[in-house]
Every structure is written in C-alpha cells, then in structure tokens.
Chain A
Amino acid sequence: MNEQKKLPGVEMLLDTLSLSFLRLASTSNMAGEHPLLRIANTAQFDKTPWLFDSVTGKLHVRGCPSIPAASTSALYAVHRRDNLEGTTLRCKRCSDMKLKKDPPNDASDMLFGILALIEQFGTILRERGNEFRRSPRGKEFEKSLSPVIEKIDKQQKGAAGIILSVMEQLNTAINTLSVKAAATDGPSTKKVQPPKKPATKRPNRPTNRPKRSKGDSQ
C-alpha cells in the first residue's frame, strides 16, 4: 500500500483513524472474533408485519396473497407505524386484515449494545488506560482525580449499602407476602411453598424411667 501524504483536515484524521483501526483489528485477530457492525440484520426485518412493494407502490400485510412474485426481491419491511392505518398505499385485499402490534422497542438492547462495545474493546481500553496511568501526564491526572474518585467511591459505597438494605427489606416483604398467599390459596392451586423451618435437633430429654437392675430379666 502506498504511504499516505500528511495533509491537514478533519477528514484526513478520520481516514487515518479508520485505516489504523482496520490494521489493528486484522493484526489482533479482532475481526475474526467479534462482528463490528451487522448491516444485514435479516432477523429484525422478518419481525415486522408490513411489507412495502417498491415496484407497485403498495403496502401489504406480511403473507398477503396479492404480493406479486416478481416483487419478492423488491419488498421492504416497514418499521414505522406512523399513518400506516389510513394510508392510500394499502393493498385492497389485505387492508381488512388485522394489523399485529409493532414489536416492542427494547431499551435494554441499547444498554447491552454499549456493554458489548466495551467488552469488545476492553483489552485495548485497559492497555491504553494502564499506559496512560504510568505516564507523567497520567500521574498528574490521577493526583487531581484521586479526591474526586475517593468521594465517588464513598458515595458509591453508600449508595450500594442503601440499595442492599432496600433489597433485603424487599426480599423479606416478598417472602412474607408469598407465605400469606400460600396460606389463603386452595389446595388445587399452585402455590409458593413457605420456607421450611430448619430441622432442629431434639434435645436429650432427661429420662425418669428407673434403671433396670441386672437381676430383673433373669
């Protein structure tokens, strides 16, 4: 590959980053282990109830028998529900078919996406973090941040403590409710079994029986 000329400009910087990232990924075998970006996400497309025929300009409900065979490769799954109910683009045959609800947008997907990115680049982030911490600039940074981190740590510990005690109380409350619910339920219903009491060892009772003398049995 030819050497890159160094010229100013944000685009040049981004190009350099992009190429460096690609080289880094190929040398560290990251490309083989983790997908970077999945543009072709057919599983998502298969979930939507509407299909738009780009050739005829008609909106169909998935499975409508009026979708021409020649349009199969020109169908687009429609994700936006806005104004689709009253649109004139609806196919006459399936316009009476009941529309299923949109698949729900799960916000937790986004959180997992962020976690996935952090996990994917974790090694690089950690290495860079380590290097930076050892550098003079990093040490200065650490000094100025230490009181803040300590404060956050204390706050975090405090917050964690509060959360733990709340959860403990919540757990106790749930168990109490479960026991009550189990007591009021009939025998045929499935119920939450109350927690079993731990088996207690019977204490040795003092015996009042007279001791048999050896001679009684004879």
Chain B
Amino acid sequence: MEYQDVRKQPLGLSRPNAKALKRTSALLDTYRSFNSELFTNLTSLYCRSLDEGNPFELRKMIELSTKMTLVGHACADAAGVEFTFRRKLLSALYGGCCFLADSFIDDYGEEIALRYINRFEQLLTSGWFTVSNDREQLFWIIISRIFGLCDILDPMLRQAIFSLFLAQRRDIELRSNAITFQRLKRSKQLQLLKTCARDRSGHGIAVLAHCIAPSLPLQTHHFLFCAGSLIMYIDDHGDCWADKRNSRITYMNQVKQPENILTRLFTETISMFPAVASQNASFVLLTTFLYRYFTTRLEKHKTEQHRGGLSWAVYE
C-alpha cells in the first residue's frame, strides 16, 4: 500500500511516501503540457484578449486547470473508474470554466459580479446565455463542450451545479452587504464564512466528480465534498494577504490562528478517507494532492506575508 496510516504520523501531519509524491508531480507535469496546448489553442481561436493580454493570466488559467485535471483524476480513482481521455478533457475544461467564472465574479467589482450572477441564474434556469465579449464567448464554448461530454441532466450533477451557483451567490451577497455582516456576532460571522467556503469548493468538486462518474456512491460523494471544502480553506490561507489587500474577508483570514486551524482541518479530513482501497477505488492520489497543496500554500502564505503578494504570481 502506497499510503501510510495518518494516525501514526507525528504532529498530526499525514505525509505520503516519496513514490506517491513523485507520481503526483509527474502527473501534474503531464497535465500542464496537455492543458497548455488545449488553452493556447482555445484562447487563440475564441479569446484574443486572453491570448494577447497579460501572459500571467493565461498561465494562471493553465495552472488552475492543471490542478483540476489532477483532482479529476483523483475523483476517478476514488470512484473506481478509469481516467480516460474524455475524463481528462472534461476535467481540464472544467478548470478553464472555473477560472473564467471566477474572473467574471472577482475581477470587475461588485456591481458587475451581481450582474453575472443573474446571468448565470438565467443560464441554469433556461439554458440561454448572451455573449457580449470574447471572454464570454470562450466561456460558452467551454461549457458547450462540457455539456457534450457528460450527461448534464444527471440528478446529482444538476443539484451540484445549482448548489455551486447558490454558494457563489451567497458569497457575493456577503461581500456586498458588508455593513449588515459586520453587525453580526463574531461567531456567527465565522460560521457564515466557513459554510460559504465549504460549499463553494465542496459543490465545485461534486460537479467535477459527478461529470466524471455519474454513478458515484454516496459515501464517495461525501468524502469528495469534504476534500473540496478543505481545498477552499487551503486556497484561502494561501491567498490571505492578497485578499486582505483587496478587502476581501474569508474564514481563513479572519480566524486568529489560521495555521493551527488549517492543520486541524487538514488532519480531520485526511483521517476520514479509508486507508484500504475497495472495489478498485483509491484515495491515494487525492490525499497526496491535498498534502502537496497544503504544504505549498503554507509556504505561499509565509512568502507573501514578508514579500507582499502579487495578484498575478503563479503558484503550482
């Protein structure tokens, strides 16, 4: 068995063995090349502003979709299905879709974010989306391709997509009602922020998992949802200083001892995955990725605290 029992590790940190870490690095490199070619082609065809604009933005898109492809692979392993080319492409496209959707919501201010949320609601309730610039054109192309590669009307997948949308909407509403939010008790504030982060990434990974494996067992859905929530907490810890500069509050940048809390969340989540694989299912890749992501984002947090975070810095 590649993975060592988390309960035997010192300091509560679960370190995968060297072979698992090496395999994860190799997979990331492979997927990075694949996604680089995919998105360079797509942006040159459908989105000149990304293709010819800030090079870091395209790199960030490629990096996010690379991670998403690896997470897709991990979801396939957890579901006990082969990670075929179709699943790889789905995961990569989903990463691109997440990057663009996040950029619509995060990069243009609250008013435009609210307008995009209304348009996403129209997309989910009627299937229509009006394209008004090349970035939206690329978004439409990517989601059309995703719809063509999976059964979008699978009941669990539909719920995951709609729940993800609701979580994004709640996040924007929290941000735009800052005064009301500040009047709440601190414990209530932290609870809302934690739930919001949990849902955004938990449902996000559920969407990917159900695209890849429509008959996903409920228990695996539960594990993957919790893994997705952990990814958000890790991500927010890494982006702590950039978010604070942009006056964006998250659960992780509001708690008093974020590193301790994050370590506890990491250990609790990792310990819930079964150590022994059953019926071809394996959580080794997922837990190895989570460990790698956790350690790199702890490092990023420290780096940016002293140096000052650059919003376009690309981290693996």
Chain A contact residues, CB within 8 Å of chain B: 1-2, 4-5, 7, 11-12, 14-15, 18-19, 22, 25-26, 31, 35-42, 44-45, 52-57, 59, 70, 73-74, 76-79, 87, 89
User: How distant is the Cα of A146 from the Cα of B263 in the complex, in angstroms?
Assistant: 75
Q: Is the CB of A11 within 8 A of B145?
A: yes
Interface centre among A4, A15, A56, by most chain B C-beta atoms within 10 angstroms, is A15
Q: Is the CB of A39 within 8 A of B124?
A: yes
Question: What per-residue 1/0 map shows which CB atoms of B214-248 lie under 8 Å from chain A?
Answer: 00001101110110000000000000000000000
- Please judge, given known A-B contacts A1-B131, A15-B141, whether A31 and B45 are in contact too, CB under 8 Å: no
> Per a CB cutoff under 8 Å, which of B128, B145, B202 touches A15?
B145
Q: Is the CB of B44 within 8 A of A35?
A: no
B140 closest partner in A (C-beta):
A22
Q: Is the CB of A79 within 8 A of B155?
A: yes
In the assembled complex, 8 residue pairs joining A and B whose CB atoms fall closer than 8 Å, in A order, are A15-B141, A18-B144, A22-B140, A39-B158, A39-B161, A55-B226, A76-B159, A76-B163
Q: Is the CB of B162 within 8 A of A57?
A: no
How many Cβ-Cβ contacts under 8 Å join chain A to chain B? 124
Chain B contact residues, CB within 8 Å of chain A: 44-48, 121, 123-131, 133-134, 137, 140-141, 144-145, 148, 152-153, 155-156, 158-163, 165-167, 170, 191, 195, 198-199, 202-203, 206, 218-219, 221-223, 225-226
Chain B contact residues: helix, strand, loop or mixed: helix
B218 closest partner in A (C-beta):
A52
User: How distant is the Cα of A39 from the Cα of B161 in the complex, in angstroms?
Assistant: 8
Q: Is the CB of A54 within 8 A of B206?
A: yes
Q: Is the CB of B144 within 8 A of A36?
A: no
User: How distant is the Cα of A11 from the Cα of B148 in the complex, in angstroms?
Assistant: 10
Q: Is the CB of A37 within 8 A of B156?
A: no
4 closest A-B pairs by beta carbon, nearest first, are: A36-B127, A37-B127, A57-B222, A54-B225
User: How distant is the Cα of A14 from the Cα of B140 in the complex, in angstroms?
Assistant: 12
